[in-house]
Every structure is written in C-alpha cells, then in structure tokens.
Chain A
Amino acid sequence: MTSTLTAEPRTAEPLAGPSTWHGSGLGTQILVLTTRSLRAVVRDPRMIIFSLLQPLIMLLLFSQIFSSIANTPDFPRGVNYIDYLMPAILVNTAMQSALQAGVGLINDMKNGVLARFRSLPIRLGSVLVARSLSDLVRTAIQLLVMLLFATVLFGFSPSGGVLGVLAALALALVVGWGLSWAFLAIATWLRNAEVMQMVGFLAMFPLMFASSAYVPVRGLPGWLQAVANVNPLTHAVDAARNLALSHPVGGGALAAIVTSLVIAAVGAVFAVRGFRRPL
C-alpha cells in the first residue's frame, strides 16, 4: 500500500483549531474503555474459545478420573461427583480468567494503545477498572457456557436448582474479579506476559489441588489437610458448592466475598501505583 496524501493545501478547519473537548467524565471513560476491550473479544473470539478449552478438558477428565471418589466414606452422601466437581470448576475457571486480565493488560502495554491512553486527559485508574470489568463480563460468558456443557453433556443437576447454581456462579465471579486485581497489580510490575503466565500457574496450580476443589479435605494426607484448611480457595469452593447443593452455607459465602473485596482493594492500590510507572 503506497497511498500518499494529496499535497493540496488544507483549509485551516479540519486539522487544527480551538479544541472543544477537554476530557470525559470518569463514567464515560470506564464505559468506553470497557466496551473497547469487549469488542476485541467479539472481533477475536479465539480468546474465549481457547480459554474454554482448558476447563472443559478438566471437566471431562476429572469427572471420569475422580468419579469413584463419590464412593469413599468422606464424600457427602447422595451427591453425584459432577455436582460436587462443577462448582469447583466454576471457581477455577474464574481464577484462570483473572490471570487473563493481567495478561490482557500486558498485551495492551505492548500493543502501544496504553501509550496513547497515557497521553490523554483521562484517569489511568479507569483503564484498570475497565480491564477488570470487561474480563468480568468475559468470565461470566465463559462460566455460562461451561454450565451449559456440564448440564447437557455431563448431567450436572445439583439439588440447589437454578437459583443455587446462579448463586454459585455469582460467587465464582466475585472471587475471580477480586483475584483479577491481584493479577492486574502483578501485571503492572512484571510487564511480561510469559512470566505472568508462569507466576499465575505456579500460584494457582497447588492452590487448586491443596484444597477441597476435587476431593474432600478429610480424604487428603494430614499435612495437606492442614494446608487445605487455611487455603482460602477451600472456603471459596466450599461456599460455591454449598450454594449449588443447597447445603447450609453458614458464613462461608460472606467470608469469600469479603476476602475477595479485600484482595481487590489491596490489588487496586498496587495496580494503580505500578501502572503510573512509565512504560
């Protein structure tokens, strides 16, 4: 493409002139930037499809490999393994998505578009909020697709019914959203997508397995039980599971929500600080 600009002199109007716009409100900034990120997802749905593959494979493998766990004495009576497993898969998928929020931010930094945003009269914090919100929407879509698969193909049908499942989904979203701020914070300091992926994997892989996600905690070896009991993920998964199975939740859901909000708040402080550093 070697198109050139025409050389004829321009009238004064189009290029320069008195500026009439001096920055948008915070709400507009967040709305416009969130829409931007979501449009990228719509334009390139591979991101959604590929990020669905991993949880789908986990769902397929774990539901087959671990199904005999339902027959062990520690397993809750009268519960199908798929109904036990699915809430944990929801939480796990939301966590993987949270990691993607950080990766997406790093890609934006590389892409050059963040350099543009920095030169505009907008608050940099709104870029971060938009990132976390657009990833929340993306995660919600992912989780709904997962639920559809689980219900149609694997017979997921917990005793909590639609309301219980939606409550578990909402809780998974809150946990994922809170965690996305931790990853956004890490992203603004690391600024390297590969390292970011590795850090995320190293952090989440043991957390997921040293928890109640796939097997009852009482079935774990003693030392692992101790780890699982202090692992916040155990509590998040338990809360989501109890909601889906309409078991008594106790303070579990509230604790998970509060913990997520605290992580979000701390993450946001560090994310904004790290984000201010020059690219």
Chain B
Amino acid sequence: MELLHVRSLNKSYGAHQALKDFDLSVEQGLIFGLLGPNGAGKTTFIRIVNQIIEQDSGDIRIKGEPLRMRHVRDIGYLPEERGLYKAMKVTEQLLYFAQIKGLKKQEALLRINRWLDKLDLTRWKENKIQDLSKGMAQKVQFIATVIHQPDLLILDEPFSGFDPVNAEIIKNEILELKRLGTTIILSTHRMESVELLCDQIALINRARKVLDGPVKTIKDEAKTNRFLVKLIPETPTMSLPWEDVVRREGWVEFTVELQGRQPNSLLRELMEQGEILGFEEIIPSIEEIFIQKINESHAG
C-alpha cells in the first residue's frame, strides 16, 4: 500500500527554488532513504509533509487522503535541529509532546512508562532534562518522536549528534518499529550511513529528484561489470596484457571488464597469469552512483 504520495511539488523562497516538480511514492512498512547534499531540498520537503510550511503547488496524500491538520497524529518527526525544554521533567515533557499530538493523558502515561523502561530511563523519569547526560536526553528526544505510534516516522539526520552506542540503540529501535509496520523516512546527506538500513531511496539534488527506487535495483543497474584483481605474477618482470596495472611490492593490482564472459571463466584466465590474491566485483556506493548521476545530468 502506498502510504505517502507526492505529485509535482513546488516550493520556492523568493528567487530560490527549493523543490521543483518533486514526485515521491513511499510504500508502507519500508525504510525510505531521502538522500542528497545539504541544501538539496530535503528539509523543505519534510517540513511540507509536516505542515510546518506550505507548498506553492502540488499534491500530497497520506494513506490516500489529502494531507490535513489532523494527520499530525499519524506522523512522528525528529528534526535535524532538535531540543527539549531543559527545565521540564522527563515524564512531564513526554506527556506534553504526546498530548499535543492528540494522545489522551492516561494512554500517554502508559506508553511513556513502557518506553522509559525499554530505553533504561525509568530511574530518571522525575529528573529535569538539564540534569541528564546528552545521551540520555537524546533517547528522551527519540521517545518524544515515536510516543504517539505514528504510521509515518520522519527522521532528519537521525544519527547526527548521537554517540556510537546510542546510535546503535536507536538504529535497533528503528528496525523494530519497521517490523511493527511503521513506515520510516530517513533523510541524510551522509549516504554511506543509511545505505544498509534503507529498502528504498530517492536521491535529491538542487530541488529535483535525480533517482529513486529499491536500493538493490539501483545498485544492480549501476553495476559496471568490472572486477578488481590482485595477483602475484609468475615472474616479476613479465609484461601483462591489461591496462593501468599498478605494480606493488611483489604483486600487481588492476581492473578487468567481463566483456560478456562469466566471472568464473575470467578468473580461470587470470589464474594462468599468476597467483590470485584478490578478485572482487566493483560495486559503486550510493554516493558514487549519485555523483555519476549528477555528472550525467550536467553533461546532458
């Protein structure tokens, strides 16, 4: 089922176009990566979905319905720039955030206790945020985002500011939420950090979507059919039939294209030239694919 549907979204700030004819379709229960450099338009898009700002034109549907104020109940949002009321107690604060999302007090308190227990914060529930460590405050922030069990969770640069231990905890919670059916949009400019987490991605550059689809498909399509080979030649000085051979101490390194052959038959050919140290398909990272796409679009 399509959870979020976006058609020809446009938004500009004065002369600056932040989003141009932006389309997006996010299926339910997936982790969707929204990738692109800073200033590409990610945050603008997220703010529009959160109804913080309004689009100039374009159509947004959530669960098939046109986006309305009541949908704030269905969305959880962790902004890139985030904070808490420092002088408020943990429970008080979470209760406030839950209530302004539309949760009833009793229900909210039950959930708050469950989450505090889960993230090991129960003993701090009556403490003010200013008395907590940064890591603990970040966990509270995460709870505030998910406390109302949103169908759609939007996380803008979720791992920035988290220490590695907490980042891991949060990552596991995200995966758990996904198992429970939550749809998650992850937005980041650090593409390598979410490549493994995302089922689908969209690449954004300069207000436009450059590319989108399942991570696997995108990667398969970007395959170059080239392999990186490391081997020790029969004799150190023998001439090799490949281009761009880099000679190391006692071994050489180069790339070969399959050119219609099967990898195994290529490997057999290579084995005749010496002892194989390494044989690995070159798969471009999402970032490399992104850069390549942008270069193509500039050239075209």
Check if A and B associate: no
Using a CB–CB distance below 8 Å, which chain A residues touch chain B? none
Using a CB–CB distance below 8 Å, which chain B residues touch chain A? none
